[in-house]
Amino acid sequence: MNSPLSVAVPSPRARDYQSSVKPIWCPGCGHFGVLSALTKALADLERPKHEIAVVSGIGCSSRLPAYLDCYGFHGLHGRALPLATGLKIARPDLCVIAAGGDGDGFSIGGNHFLHACRRDLDVTYLVLDNAVYGMTKGQASPTTDPDWTRSPLTPQGTGMPPFQPMAIALAAGASFVARGFSGDPNGLGELIVRAIQHPGFAFVHILSPCRTYRPEDQAHWKQATHPSGVPPTRDLGDAAKLILQDDGFALGVFYQVSRASAAAQSASKSASIRGGLAEIEAELQR
């Protein structure tokens, strides 16, 4: 009896996860580096495209789903996380990635951010932070420094301390908290792999400079970013100390704790919701 021929299946490449839609970001935008890092990460994970879903809100960064060859949903401003949460509950088998910007995630979507951290479902949240509202002509965002005066709406600066994304994520209950830089696609890709593999809510704060409205950040951030130099901690107090004493440019995983119930919670909540919907449907059909 002849043995069947074995066919070698080539490993996926980063470009296999890119769609045919050409990005329309401004030349030099940091988001190009994030797209490169994300496709590298998906290729490294060798996850089939039909098992990946990327959900976004509104903003420059939220164009990501269109540039990827997998399932995608371009939602409403600030609503990426509730969409991603519902999708993960309904389809716990999917790799669910939410993406947005600092305005989308920390301003109009701030409340959703807090409670997504608390729920700790197996969702990866990538926030591409350029410290400005780039799509709507350069207004100050929640993470803008108080003395940034280049916006005509706040010519004297905002006068308010910037939002601290990683500290808020840690306090709200996220089980994976990290920071990456778009100018280092390889390092960022490795960070995204670790975030996706983490069985819980993984928050990755990505410094991604805006070439149009904050051109000064591109060179400054490249020089200022550096490895955190410490391994991720499981201790909440140690993580809080590291994050609050950080200069804002340290890269790496700051906090990671495995909660074995995270995957089970997703499956349990999914089953419960499905059961409730079935009961409602049966009642309506009577």
Per-residue pLDDT tens, the chain, 286 aa: give them. 555 666 666 789 999 999 999 999 999 999 999 999 999 999 999 999 999 999 999 999 999 999 999 999 999 999 999 999 999 999 999 999 999 999 999 999 999 999 999 999 999 999 999 999 999 989 999 999 999 999 999 999 999 999 999 999 999 999 999 999 999 999 999 999 999 999 999 999 999 999 999 999 999 999 999 999 999 999 999 999 999 999 999 999 999 998 765 556 556 655 666 666 677 777 777 7
Q: What is the pTM of this model?
A: 0.89
Nearest residue to 84 (alpha-carbon basis) of 176, 196, 166, 207: 196
Q: Measure the CA–CA gap between 35 and 84, rounded to whole angstroms.
A: 19
- What pLDDT does residue 166 have? 98
DSSP code, position 207: E
- What pLDDT does residue 10 have? 79
How many domains does the chain fold into? 1
Question: Considering the domain boundaries, does residue 72 fall inside one?
Answer: yes
DSSP H stretches of helix in 91-234: 102-103, 110-119, 165-172, 185-197, 216-224
277 is written with which tokens? 């919907």
Question: Considering the domain boundaries, does residue 95 fall inside one?
Answer: yes
Q: Is 166 exposed, middle or buried (0-12, 13-18, 19+ CB in 10 A)?
A: buried
Question: Considering the domain boundaries, does residue 15 fall inside one?
Answer: no
- What pLDDT does residue 261 have? 52
Nearest residue to 84 (alpha-carbon basis) of 3, 202, 172: 202
Q: Residue 59 sits in a domain of what CATH number? A: 3.40.50.970
Question: Considering the domain boundaries, does residue 17 fall inside one?
Answer: no
Q: What is the CA radius of gyration of the chain?
A: 20
- What pLDDT does residue 243 have? 96
Question: Considering the domain boundaries, does residue 187 fall inside one?
Answer: yes
Question: Considering the domain boundaries, does residue 23 fall inside one?
Answer: no
Question: Considering the domain boundaries, does residue 69 fall inside one?
Answer: yes
- What pLDDT does residue 265 have? 58
Its domain, for residue 247, covers 29-284
Question: Considering the domain boundaries, does residue 7 fall inside one?
Answer: no
